[in-house]
Structure 1
Amino acid sequence: MEKQDKINVIDAFKRHAKDTGSAEVQVAILSARINQLTTHLAANKQDAHTKRNLLRLVGQRRRMLAYLRREDATRYQDLIAKIGLRK
């Protein structure tokens, strides 16, 4: 993921002016990276290292979403609607 892409994702999901590490931002960055790796894997099916990393990121995002759902259900619902997960 390029630096400018990451900055754009942070700007879209931050909760306040200096927010770079909230759960929403972390999930959004993970989702962008997952989408990027998914397109890479579609073209390179035999890339086992990328597949392993993709599965690791999916698990990390799943745990972060579970935390957010447990702590604040409204923020969780807003986030999955904004990202487009679980329609």
Structure 2
Amino acid sequence: MAITKEKKTEIIGSFSRGEADTGSPEVQIALLTARINDLTDHFKSHAKDHASRRGLLMMVSKRSSLLKYLRLHNRKSYLEVIGRLGIRK
């Protein structure tokens, strides 16, 4: 259910601004999206797992806040991230 270390380093490598960048909004949004997708699959077989559902809602809210920040401060980067992740229509 959790993201493997290899997958996490792959995501960080593809969305980071530089070599040592692990905390930029782009990286955080990509990591949250991967975790959200994993939890969404989890709920297909565990529909009554309300504790995890609360965590999912908190992650979605955090990702929404980060996307709003990115949209207001760096529009080009925002459009690139949502295009690569396919999270907006």
TM-score range, shorter chain: over 0.9
Q: TM-score, normalised by structure 2?
A: 0.93
| Residue identity opposite 1:14 in structure 2 | S
Q: Distance in 2 between matches of 1:9 and 1:15?
A: 12
Question: Once the 2 structures are TM-superposed, how far is the Cα of residue 18 of structure 1 from its aligned partner?
Answer: 1.2
* Bigger relative CO (Cα 8 Å, ≥ 6 apart): 2
Moved over 4 A (4+): none
Question: For structure 2, which runs of at least 5 residues remain unmatched after alignment?
Answer: none
Q: TM-score, normalised by structure 1?
A: 0.95
Say how many residue pairs are matched: 87
Question: Once the 2 structures are TM-superposed, how far is the Cα of residue 31 of structure 1 from its aligned partner?
Answer: 0.2
CA-atom RMSD, angstroms? 0.8
Residue deviations 1:47-69 (CA, integer Å, cap 9, x gap) = 01111100000000000000000
Equivalent residue in structure 2 for 1:41, among 40, 43, 51:
43
Question: Once the 2 structures are TM-superposed, how far is the Cα of residue 86 of structure 1 from its aligned partner?
Answer: 1.1
| Residue identity opposite 1:56 in structure 2 | M
Matched with 2:67 is 65
Between the two proteins, what is the percent identity of the paired residues? 41
